[in-house]
Amino acid sequence: MRRAINTAVCLLLLVAAAAASAGEIPSRPEQLKYPDLVFDVPDADALRFELADGTPVYAKRDSQFPLVNITVYFRGGRYLAPAGKEGLAAIAGEVWRTGGAGERTAQQLDEELDFLAAALGTNISEVSGSASLNVLSKDLDEAMALFMDVLTKPRFQEDRFAKAKDDLIQNMKQRNDDTAGIEGREWNRLIYGDDYWMNRLATKASVDDLTAADAKEFVTSLVRSGNIVVAVAGDFEPAAMKAMLEETIGSLEPLAQELPPIPQPAHTPEPGVYVVNKPDVNQGRVSIGQLGYREGYPDEFPLMVGRDILGGYGFTARMMKTIRTDEGLAYSAFAALDFPVTMPGTFRAFYQSKSSTCAYAAEIFFDLLGAVRGDGVTDEELKTSKASFIETFPRAFASANQIVGRFAIDEILGRPHAYWTSYRDKVAAVTAADTKAAMSKGLDPDKMIILVVGNIEEIMQGHPEHEAKLTDFGPIPEMPPHAPTSREPCAE
Amino acid sequence: MSLRRRSITAGLVMMVLLCGLTVIAQEAKVPVRETTLENGMKLLMVERHESPTVAAGWVAHVGSVNEEVGVTGIAHLFEHMMFKGSRTIATTDYPAEAEIMARLDAIRTEMDVEYAAMREAKRRGEITGSIYLPENQTPGLAELREKMKKLQEEQKELTVNNEFEQVYTEAGASGMNAGTMEDGTFYFVTVPANKLELWFWMESERLLNPVFREFYTERDVVREERRMRVESDPTQKYWEQFDFMFWGSLPYHHPVVGWPSDVESISRPAADRFFATYYAPNNITAVLVGDFDPDEALALAKKYFGRIPRGTTEPPDVVTEEIAQLQERRMRAEADTNPSVHIRWHAVPFIHKDAYALDVLDLVLNGRTGRLYKSLVEAERLATGEPYSTFSPQKYGGSLEVGAELADGISHQEVEDSLLAEIELLKTEPVSERELQKVKNQSLADSFRRLQSNFFLLFQLLMYDAFGDWQYLNVSPALIEAVTPEDVQRVAQTYLTDAGRNVLWFSRKGGTAEDPELAALSGQAKAMAKQGLAQINQIDDPAELEQGLQQMKAMKGEAPPEFQPAIDLMITRATERLEMLQAAAGEEE
């Protein structure tokens, strides 16, 4: 009996200890245990159907809120604007929405949409465009009629067209006001060359010559059957939605002729230090990098991980740890590397630092880049970076609208759905050796461009406590600023 | 608009204010479970299972409004320090670090003596510019800085760089950030649904055992942030001064990022005192939105946050009230920007009963079917872009601002007059039923739209809680629906007074590449055109200008080719001005 009691007490003590430890707070976060989390990529094919004319539709119902969202994506964008008509895509994309449609003047259309509280947006970007409608589901039929007018019978009313031209010219005047704007434009010029379509910027002269007829032709030639993909999400009855789409978007005129392919850059960037003087600021903006790669580049995933370890957007990357945390030289210090589907992207490391330490921070960056290429990355860094890519992956599919939008854009650009289903496996397969090899092969400090925008006189002087000077990094070719509205090189 | 001046993820705040203040309809209510822990910490939970994530955050009810003279910027500096780890995180040997940090503080105290002497030297005119510039430092200071640097290097050996972020990143957290405003400091992140406990571990750890390491180097980062956001931005430095002019006694007048002199001088012991007062659990609200079980989350909250002791003293209330403005105030800024006019009035705090009528008034003015666009852009053609109205109610006070960018050839006065005419109309006539209904319809749709994202909903709850009442999210639909045309008229009359105006004019700074057509010229031709245009703009007599114009036309043929574009420009501008003067003379007759 006594023995039995002892056993019971012991058991009780054991259970109590176990309970206490379950309730205890571990001393380090690594000791926490988590349940499994399984996430499957939504099945694109299950969400996809075609209208009678072949128009692809991705639809996902979500009745949480009484809203419905319909987006029509199309191929074609700024690259199609002919030389001399720079600014056409931007203005066409705007006045398409603001210029009235069908039987309604611009002002009547605005009033009706605002009274319905419908958000109707249009946009033409680099290689694609879209028109979207977001409305309370109870008002869908009424709003859809207006949306169809915008899609098929835009008016490009003259006063709104003139207004859009004025606004664009007003914005143009601010081109040299902000160092960030100067940096972005000059970077693209240096990387892709002045002749590349991306760098054919609107000027006052080109905008003055644009007509509403140009814009209307530009839009209506692209919003055609055979050139669009539709995404629908929200509160709707699937059968009724399908029938409505057949009747409306399913009856667009067919595309008249195949679009020309997107031109690829032919320019070879010239390494060097390029400076743009903006004397009245006390902080320089610095970009360092080179032409990058398209999606499908064989080393895409190792390079993506290597870039993240070098200059990822967070505080765990080497650039932030060194340039910001250790040295206090910058608020942000990152490296961007994109792999666009339709043209090569860029590798661009960038930071902003007070004039006197711009050169010193550049020296640090090149040391960091050299180390990643020469010595590679640590296992700990690799583990963190890969885990981050894999664990945050579900956030790319967080809502019905995001899911159908992603698949529709993929189909427009020509990215296979397999990109997503194999994404996590490809990240998981990256090794430290792959990363080092990819960074070494894919990035070349000798080919890099350094762009500096700021008070150049102060920046050239450097800092009394550091030896680095801007002249250490290569020749500094003359680069005059460009007049804001003519884009002609100018003095000052 | 007004929010571009805040030191925070401005886009998000903008989204909250633009959508957030336009609510309606009972159906859009959010089921929020509210609990207060024994130590006074408040917890708000919204359960949703669309995506396997939880948006998690907390707000400390402290911002720049709580700062005293001499330590402005401390709330924001604190936001940075909260990422520096704890006694466990980001260190390999905390006791050794603590010893170094004590020595650093001692050196800093010695440096204060040097700085005080330098401030006096500056007052005597013996030093110019900031006392913190390397060229102004005394030999004594240089020596102390050298010592400090050595110790910082020593400490670096014991520190695990950015380990706090490292733990979150490896766990698949994303969007981790923080923001400081006048009324609150926010910390937020999205974590995978299975790792909510990590959030509790990490956040309770940094509230329980924070270590403000790298304190003296982090201030350099904050100085760079100020250079980026304010000093090297074409207009922000002027907005900062406009804010300072706008607010009288209420401590919204100083910038969130702090005055440069103050940020440099804040010491670590001052930061410790600040933390003890304002980061106590009784001054904090935590919010969770997403895929979790509220009962489990509450148990975790009690386990992790429950161990943090309540503060020994309650955070002091902000007692200073805004002094009434007696007369209109004006500021003219010359900057690298297009010319524009902005008019701002004092309005009401966030929880004020008149805030709903001001929400409606604001919406009536805004958008392409709003009154400002219809009059200033469509009817009168005075403005480019979209004129705006921004109602910004904060915890202790609020403002309403209208503004517009000038169309070419239009004067500031014309735009100001036209903006004020629209305000006057709100005071003299009730808004139409159709306008009111339109605004209410938009509010209904927006009350659903703003609930769609977990993170955005989290952010609204945090922000409304900081402003004084998160229930705004659920009660405002009915209150906005109840606003009448008479209410709108009354609040316009009450708050948008003549004496209460604060007017800011931006003009493009002269002498730089301000005039794009002038900028396209070069060399002597440019110098000539610049001088010529300045002269043309000073002539007010049409006859005199006409004469000058004829002379220019006559002489043009004789000028060398490189001067031709410059002369063309002067002739164009003179012709434009002449037409304008003649038109003005015609009107007077």
Asked if residue A112 has pLDDT above 70, the reply is yes
- Cα torsion at A301, A304, A309, A315 (round to 10°)? -130
Same domain, A110 and A227: yes
Identify all chain A residues contacting B367, using CB atoms and an 8 Å cutoff. Answer: 114
What is the distance between the alpha carbons of residues A59 and A66, in angstroms, rounded to a whole number?
16
Taking the Cβ of residue B277 and every Cβ of chain A, the question of whether any pair is shorter than 8 Å is answered with no
What is the distance between the alpha carbons of residues B530 and B117, in angstroms, rounded to a whole number?
47
What's the confidence (pLDDT) of residue A245? 98
Contact B166 A316 (CB under 8 A): yes
In a domain, A27, yes or no: no
List the 208-237 stretch of B: residues with Cβ below 8 A of A: 214, 217-221, 223-225, 227-228, 231-234
What's the confidence (pLDDT) of residue B520? 65
What's the confidence (pLDDT) of residue B5? 31
Same domain, A66 and A191: yes
Around B587, how many Cα atoms within 13 Å sit in the side-chain half-sphere? 5
Same domain, A244 and A293: no
CA distance to partner chain B, nearest, from residue A81 (Å) = 24
In a domain, A26, yes or no: no
Same domain, A186 and A295: no
Identify all chain B residues contacting A332, using CB atoms and an 8 Å cutoff. Answer: 228
Identify all chain B residues contacting A120, using CB atoms and an 8 Å cutoff. Answer: none
Looking at A220, A251, A282, which one is the last position of a domain?
Answer: A251
Comparing alpha-carbon positions, the chain A residue that sits nearest to B191 is A392
What's the confidence (pLDDT) of residue B238? 95
List the 68-87 stretch of B: residues with Cβ below 8 A of A: 83
Same domain, A291 and A327: yes
Are B512 and A492 in contact by the 8 Å Cβ rule? The answer is: yes
Locus of tokens 């006052």: A204
Residue type for position A204: K
Identify all chain A residues contacting B303, using CB atoms and an 8 Å cutoff. Answer: 23, 25
Same domain, A287 and A407: yes
Which pLDDT tens digit goes with each residue over A429-460?
Answer: 999 999 999 999 999 999 999 999 999 999 99
Q: How far is CA B304 from CA A272, B69, B91, B197, B201, in A?
A: 54, 35, 21, 9, 6
Q: What SS3 string covers B367-411?
A: CCCCHHHHHHHHHCCCEEEEEEEEEEECCCCEEEEEEEEECCCCC
Comparing alpha-carbon positions, the chain A residue that sits nearest to B222 is A331
In a domain, A478, yes or no: no
Which pLDDT tens digit goes with each residue over A364-403?
Answer: 999 999 999 999 999 999 999 999 999 999 999 999 999 9
What's the confidence (pLDDT) of residue A30? 93
Contact B224 A25 (CB under 8 A): no
Locus of tokens 């239009």: B410
Asked if residue A2 has pLDDT above 80, the reply is no
Q: How many domains does chain A have?
A: 2
Phi, psi angle pair for A176, to nearest 5°: -100, 10
What ipTM was predicted for this assembly?
0.86
What's the confidence (pLDDT) of residue B527? 67
- What is the CA angle B193-B198-B204, rounded to 5? 130
Taking the Cβ of residue A135 and every Cβ of chain B, the question of whether any pair is shorter than 8 Å is answered with yes
What is the distance between the alpha carbons of residues B26 and B471, in angstroms, rounded to a whole number?
13
List the 90-129 stretch of B: residues with Cβ below 8 A of A: none
Same domain, A227 and A318: no
Mutation site for A-interface testing, chosen from B7, B88, B137, B169 by largest number of A Cβ within 10 Å: B169
Residue type for position A21: S
Tens of pLDDT, residue by residue, chain B (589 residues): 222 233 344 444 444 444 433 333 335 789 999 999 999 999 999 999 989 999 999 999 999 999 999 999 999 998 999 999 999 999 999 999 999 999 999 999 999 999 999 999 999 999 998 898 888 889 999 999 999 999 999 999 999 988 999 999 999 999 999 999 999 999 999 999 999 999 999 999 999 999 999 888 888 888 888 888 888 888 999 999 999 999 999 999 999 999 989 988 888 888 889 999 999 999 999 999 999 999 999 999 999 999 999 999 999 999 999 999 999 999 999 998 999 999 999 999 999 999 999 999 999 999 999 999 999 999 999 999 999 999 999 999 999 999 999 999 999 999 999 999 999 999 999 999 999 999 999 988 998 998 989 999 999 999 999 999 999 999 988 899 999 999 999 999 999 999 999 999 999 987 444 466 776 666 667 667 777 777 777 677 888 888 888 888 877 777 777 777 778 888 888 887 787 777 766 644 3
List the 352-411 stretch of B: residues with Cβ below 8 A of A: 367-369, 377-378, 384-385, 405, 407-408
CA distance to partner chain B, nearest, from residue A2 (Å) = 38
CA distance to partner chain A, nearest, from residue B249 (Å) = 31
In a domain, A459, yes or no: yes
Taking the Cβ of residue A201 and every Cβ of chain B, the question of whether any pair is shorter than 8 Å is answered with no
Q: What is the CATH number of the domain that holds A95?
A: 3.30.830.10
Which pLDDT tens digit goes with each residue over A173-218?
Answer: 889 888 999 999 999 999 999 999 999 999 999 999 999 999 999 9
Backbone region of residue B297 per phi and psi (left: phi > 0; alpha: psi in -120 to 50; beta: other values): alpha
Identify all chain A residues contacting B134, using CB atoms and an 8 Å cutoff. Answer: 463-465
Mutation site for B-interface testing, chosen from A40, A113, A173, A207 by largest number of B Cβ within 10 Å: A173
Contact B385 A492 (CB under 8 A): no
- List the one residue out of A395, A23, A29 whose CA is nearest residue B191: A395
Mean pLDDT of chain A, nearest integer: 92
Identify all chain A residues contacting B521, using CB atoms and an 8 Å cutoff. Answer: 490
Fold classification of B2-307 (topology level):
Cytochrome Bc1 Complex; Chain A, domain 1 (3.30.830)
* Nearby residues of A467 by Cβ (< 8 Å), 6 or more positions away: none
- Tell me which architecture the domain covering B329-508 has in CATH: 2-Layer Sandwich (3.30)
- List the one residue out of A255, A354, A369 whose CA is nearest residue B220: A354
What's the confidence (pLDDT) of residue B118? 94
What is the distance between the alpha carbons of residues B390 and A121, in angstroms, rounded to a whole number?
22
Taking the Cβ of residue A188 and every Cβ of chain B, the question of whether any pair is shorter than 8 Å is answered with no
Strand arrangement of the beta sheet that strand B502-508 belongs to: B329-335, B502-508, B340-346, B398-406, B383-393
Same domain, A243 and A391: no
Strand partners, A272: A449
Same domain, A316 and A232: no
Domain span including residue A104? 44-251
Same domain, A382 and A449: yes
What's the confidence (pLDDT) of residue B519? 63
What is the distance between the alpha carbons of residues B191 and B111, in angstroms, rounded to a whole number?
43
Q: How many Cβ contacts (< 8 angstroms) between chains A and B?
A: 235
In a domain, A487, yes or no: no
In a domain, A4, yes or no: no
